[in-house]
Structure 1
């Protein structure tokens, strides 16, 4: 459709992430944000490695963001009636349980990066036949390796350790949901208990082929199916909003996990296209189309999205636990910088990292290593090392971890990428983007409209409500970063990174042994 003939269709998107909640209103076909509002969400750390959030705070923040955005729309001469549909995108794997009768949370939300279920996982591994303790035992069914990262182990921990949850389960009053389910439940005043296939695929409880809750998986984890939401596609009308009143009567017609939302927002609609989202962590998704590719390189097979009754689109995914969080650590714990936005200027005060390598494995390594016992290390420090070298090494660590995943994707797919599309808060750092191009040897393409995750949810809502065709969404204007170093330099630096990763392995186990001795 010619650009000047595209209608101005306004669609809302709730984007509930790890650190904040937002509501944005898009002119979807023209790829423009009309109005938005954002509120920070607090994280709680009751014990080392535990990360929680208050479900009520999440809901309150979302509702307040909606109200504030509507007021901003009015200031622009528009009204709530201009919003034709709403989509939701959310932090994935984060686990919530509540009472079906009262709607009250039974526990704080256990956030995706929480590591308390490590011991639960060890107990579950003992249940694998022949005592093989194979972390990929369930992968043929759910596409996922055994990891504290996913929701099933979080649910199991709640049942085992929180009496209120166990009692509610036994009384068939307990409802489980990821953040999308919790929001839809409350936006419809308890009328809907649903999720979409992309979020369900992150629980270890959904069969990756049938797209239904799998009785064998539920039995393996000891989780009753009656607590689980109904699985829907990513684009269909689920129901009408009744809370808050300002959006009453508007359909919720799109739902997708945040990383899959970014894949859509980047319009990576064809097999072989890939994107990386840089935030607290870093997440790479590689579109494999209708083909479910089983990784042999430590990647995850996940559902990217499913539009209505059409066949699902699958993706390979690699997750980096610590990306922007490494800079937060340097700011909050080490006090090497006072603001994360300073990282580019400070890192540019030195020409290179001074052969310093930083592996920020604060709570283990994710793809492609999947080593929970790894811990952070900084290697190569000399008497000449300055804070600027360490800050630059932290930026390079994000890039090296991304290359780890890209190398695995190339081996699984047999195809080398020529372009990596990027989004997320860290991509405003031009130095990081240039380092990413240099250290991977491929072009890095950053859209000038950076709200790709929320845009993906809005696109799905528009498609689900029958308002737009996904092929009519305007392609983004972009900034391109091309590699500037030689293959030899790139590979030498990557080999040293791998040496540093080796030094981070089995550290937690070694520490335990030393303590016991």
Structure 2
């Protein structure tokens, strides 16, 4: 028998439960999807109770044939910014969770920006005022859900990102906690003091009584019997947001190492060391991870729609049966035929940060084929990641030797080659597709003393393959120029 870690990866589209050993090897995985709700244009919601039920179902399925006499602990990584507000007496959310993609907070954010609060919020939280982050979603709930404001003022409501909600439920309401990384994405935490900030709480009208306790990523967050699955409680140790999990899972423990996670959206993050620094225009500064008594900061940019674009092609347009179908289509034509797909379904994220723009396909002619359309959609993922990396490296003077990548779309060799050609640096793909979960496992192991240093953990990293750029720089620059022209045309078009 050995020690095993149950890693929960609660993502935007599904909940995954994975079983890891202390050698960072994934032994088994269970995936349970949850519903997406779109009550109004630009709004996105999740049913938090459905997600918790899926967590329990996934863990029970994962453990169906497991040795229950072995030693287990649990680690959690989660979709960030998505926020739940719930009644601490009944345990029920007051409404559906406001998802990070949701635009309902845009008027709140625009008003605060117009009033000149942007610099103050950036200085304290490291973030731009944007509905992408949690604070405006909480304020909207308190202002618009009947009775919520009054209950909050009486200390009857709690708020939290998905990790906080799950831990509260898993511990039977005993622990209302979150980690530094998730907290740093709410727009309510001071990333310098590592505390909830009173000025930011007042700005969004959120009572301090709603806020969870803050812990480093390698903390012990509570224990759980997983609704009676275990006879003895297992510790919940190791918690961090999914993009931060990927940074740790990719073993980016040194300043200057960076990663790109391809999921529903995408996050590009670069470790900048133990001192926070102002981010380049259009990017943000977050806590990268906190462990072994140290706090590492990161520059980050987020893209709203990458994997979501392929899912949209599959589910809404019915153009493909699965995302894997796009690659052979893309390879069937020599280029995109001048077609550019700008997937601004929920506005443009970093480095553009324009919430008014909507998705469009530019440059189609009578010669455009289905293959050109699908190739343009796939290329849009690489273009957006390229924009973020260039913003970090060129503007911030960071010289990346390679970009470490993870997530489902990394299986697409065309996309990875196109990405390397855009960036002109090697793209190094982890052999663990679920790097976010691996990062949570790393934090779990550090918490339990399995590894005593970052160097010890880093030696465990395994690479699946590395893709280098081809000798096509002039051709790629022309493609990138066409992409930028399409984006600018869309941003500058009359409303």
Same fold, TM exceeding 0.5? yes
Paired residues in the alignment total: 491
Match status 1:497 vs 2:480:
no
Matched residues in 2 for 1:162 and 1:64: separation?
Answer: 30
Q: Distance in 2 between matches of 1:315 and 1:98?
A: 31
User: What residue number does 1:514 align with?
Assistant: none
Structure 1 residue 265 displacement after superposition: 0.8
Q: Distance in 2 between matches of 1:172 and 1:324?
A: 39
1:479 maps onto 2:462 in alignment: no
Secondary structure at 2:427 match in 1: strand
For 2:40, which of 35, 47, 51 is the aligned residue?
47
Q: Deviations over 1:400-420 (max 9, x none)?
A: 111110111113431221211
Q: How far, CA to CA, are the matches of 1:270 and 1:217 in structure 2? A: 31
2:315, 2:57 → 1: CA distance? Answer: 28
In 2: Cα distance, 1:228 partner to 1:505 partner: 37
* Equivalent runs, 1:366-377 vs 2, <5 Å: 366-377=349-360
Q: Which aligned pairs between 1:319-334 and structure 2 lie closer than 5 A?
A: 319-334=302-317
Match of 1:349 among 319, 326, 332: 332
Go from structure 1 to structure 2 and tell me whether the alpha carbon gap of 1:335 and 1:242 turns closer, same or farther (over 3 Å shift).
closer
Following superposition, the deviation at residue 181 of structure 1 comes to 0.4
Aligned with residue 110 of structure 2, among 118, 122, 125: 122
User: Residue 63 of structure 1 corresponds to which residue in structure 2?
Assistant: 56
Q: CA RMSD in A?
A: 1.6
Encode CA deviations 1:454-503: one digit per residue, 9 max, x unaligned. 11111111211223334333121321111113322222211111111101
Structure 1 residue runs of 5 or longer lacking an equivalent are 1-6, 74-78, 512-517
Q: Which residue of 2 aligns with 1:264?
A: 248
Conserved 8 A contact 1:282-1:321: yes
Q: Find the partner of 1:89 among 69, 74, 77.
A: 77
Q: Does the 8 A contact of 1:194 with 1:230 survive in 2?
A: yes
C-alpha contact 2:428 2:463 (8 A) present in aligned 1: no
1:244 Cα deviation after fit = 2.2
> Which of 399, 414, 418 is the matching residue for 1:435?
418
Number of the residue aligned with 1:515: none
Q: Distance in 1 between matches of 2:4 and 2:315?
A: 40
1:164 aligns with 147
Specify which of 2, 11, 18 is matched with residue 12 of structure 2: 18
Alignment-derived partner of residue 375 in structure 2: 392
Q: CA deviation at 1:246?
A: 2.0
Q: Tell me the alpha carbon deviations over residues 381-418 of structure 1, each in whole angstroms, 9 at most, x when there is no partner.
A: 12111010111111111111111101111134312212
| In 2: Cα distance, 1:488 partner to 1:243 partner | 56
- Contact 1:12/1:83, CA 8 A, preserved across alignment: no
Task: Measure, in 2, the Cα distance between the counterparts of 1:263 and 1:147.
Answer: 23
Q: Which residue of 2 aligns with 1:108?
A: 96
Of 465-474 and 36-45, more deviation after overlay is shown by 465-474
For structure 2, the 5+ residue unaligned runs are none
Give the drift of 1:506: 5.1
For 1:37 and 1:303, the matched residues in 2 are separated by 29
With the length of structure 1 as denominator, give the TM-score of the two structures. 0.92
Q: Secondary structure at the match of 2:291?
A: coil
**Aligned counterpart in structure 2 of residue 383 of structure 1, from 356, 366, 369:** 366
Contact 2:3 2:21 survives alignment (8 Å) = yes
In the other structure, the counterpart of 2:279 is 295
Aligned counterparts of 2:423 and 2:2: Cα–Cα separation in 1: 39
Q: Work out whether residues 12 and 25 of structure 1, in 8 Å CA contact, stay in contact via their aligned partners in 2.
A: yes
Q: Residues 432, 72 of structure 1: CA spacing in aligned structure 2 closer, same or farther, 3 A cutoff? A: farther
User: After superposition, where does 1:89-238 map in structure 2 within 5 Å?
Assistant: 89-126=77-114, 128=115, 133=116, 135-238=118-221
Q: How far did residue 8 of structure 1 move?
A: 5.1
Match of 1:76 in 2: none
Question: Pairwise mapping of residues 498-513 of structure 1 onto structure 2 (< 5 A)?
Answer: 498-505=484-491, 507=493, 510-511=494-495
1:331–1:485 distance in 2 versus 1, CA, 3 Å: farther
SS in 2 for 1:62: helix
Contact 1:89–1:180 (CA under 8 A) maintained in structure 2: yes
Is 1:410 matched with 2:403?
Answer: no
Tell me by how many angstroms 1:136 deviates. Answer: 4.1
SS of 1:25's partner is strand
Q: CA deviation at 1:134?
A: 6.1
**Deviation of the 1:439 alpha carbon:** 1.4
- Are the equivalent residues in 1 in contact too, given 2:4–2:71 (CA < 8 A)? yes
2:30 to 37, 51, 54: 37
Are the equivalent residues in 2 in contact too, given 1:377–1:500 (CA < 8 A)? Answer: no
Q: Is this contact kept in 2: 1:236–1:465, CA < 8 A?
A: no
Q: Which residue of 2 aligns with 1:4?
A: none
Deviations 1:186-220, CA, capped at 9 Å, x for gaps:
11100000000000000111001011001111111
